[in-house]
Amino acid sequence: MAGDQVRNKQVILRDFVEGFPKESDMYIVTGTVRLAVPEGSTAVLVKNLYLSCDPYMRNCMSNLLGSYIESFKPGSPISGHGVCKVIDSGHPKFKKGDLVWGMTGWEEYSLITAPETLFKIEHTDVPLSYYTGLLGMAGMSAYAGFFKVCSPKKGETVFISAASGAVGQLVGQFAKLTGCYVVGSAGSKEKVDLLKNKFKFDDAFNYKEEPDLNVALKRYFPDGIDIYFQNVGGKMLDEVLLNMKSHGRIAACGMILQYNLEQPEPVYNLTQIIAKQIRMEGFVAFEFYPQYPEYLEMVLPQIREGKIVYVEDIAEGIESGPAARIGLFSGKNVGKQVVAVARE
């Protein structure tokens, strides 16, 4: 009942992290929460259903200065994107029972004091968990990075690193639907098979089994790469620069292989950007959130017609959150990593 006190399990950051994060950098506490927003507040109280594990969250575990994102606070719940059900609302835009997605706490219930950042979920004929990925931030990252940053044309060659992840699997499918030739790299045979068989990439390879990435890229792109969707940084980016075509485009979405290194891998071949007139552009998904309705208009029919498929790796229960988070950085997850806190 509204106003009742209920249990609230939370995932807490122990302290700022240097190097590779461990499960023990987070811990679970059980507190209580009142199922009502404070009198006169415009906040909303939500029950968290699904929480999104995203690579950028590793940066938030460090003491960030001058970043576009904020650090988590040691001793407090970590936060991230999630799918939630409104339990009580002091905001005119939201009412009890509404389903929403956006930034929330890693806990069973959250009081969201800036609910204008939330998106109301209008389409429930697709799995709700999709709003942590395909229909959430990951989807917008794929859409913005591929279509808005890279401006693809039919017949172009596209390479995607970390291609079986939450964003990469979508970029590949968008590229195929655009009429491009698409190759992805991933870190296991299972993921390579997924790229070729489930997501219908033209080809894929396991970067861990390639002694020379330059040779591998030349094997798949003998005439060069038009578009590189960049998710890993370091050595892979360095070798891709040697294999880009003139006037190629690189969308810099993430650097997952660099986030845990105290000294990130150097990139030596940047002169290629000048010689080949390559455009490399970093972007963040939330800058494109005003175009979210346009994205839904494009992708929802593709999902319903089976033209876009999405693979999720769902961990059950808030207690599984720390292990799911850490698993991202060892490639343990297959597809989009989600934590299911509650099913309704």
pLDDT in tens, the chain (344 residues): 556 899 999 999 988 988 888 889 889 999 999 999 888 899 999 999 999 988 888 878 888 776 777 888 899 998 999 999 999 999 999 999 999 999 999 999 999 998 888 999 999 999 999 999 999 999 999 999 999 999 999 999 999 999 988 899 999 999 999 999 999 999 999 999 999 999 999 999 999 999 999 999 999 999 999 999 998 888 899 999 999 999 999 999 876 656 555 677 888 999 999 999 999 999 988 888 999 999 999 999 999 999 999 989 899 999 999 999 888 777 777 788 999 999 87
Structural domains present in the chain: 5-133+311-340 (3.90.180.10), 137-286 (3.40.50.720)
CA distance 202 to 196: 7
Helices marked H in 221-291: 234-243, 271-275
Collect all residues with Cβ–Cβ distance below 8 Å to 257 and sequence separation of at least 6. 232, 233, 234, 236, 265
Q: What is the pLDDT of residue 21?
A: 84
Which amino acid type is present at position 168? G
Which element (helix H / strand E) includes 80?
strand 79-89
C-beta separation of 257 from 281 below 8 A:
no
CA-to-CA distance for 322 and 339, rounded, in angstroms?
10
C-alpha neighbours within 13 Å on the C-beta side of residue 112: 34
Using CB atoms within 10 Å of the CB of residue 290, give its burial: 0 to 12 exposed, 13 to 18 middle, 19+ buried. Answer: exposed
Query: In the prediction, which pLDDT does 4 show?
Result: 85
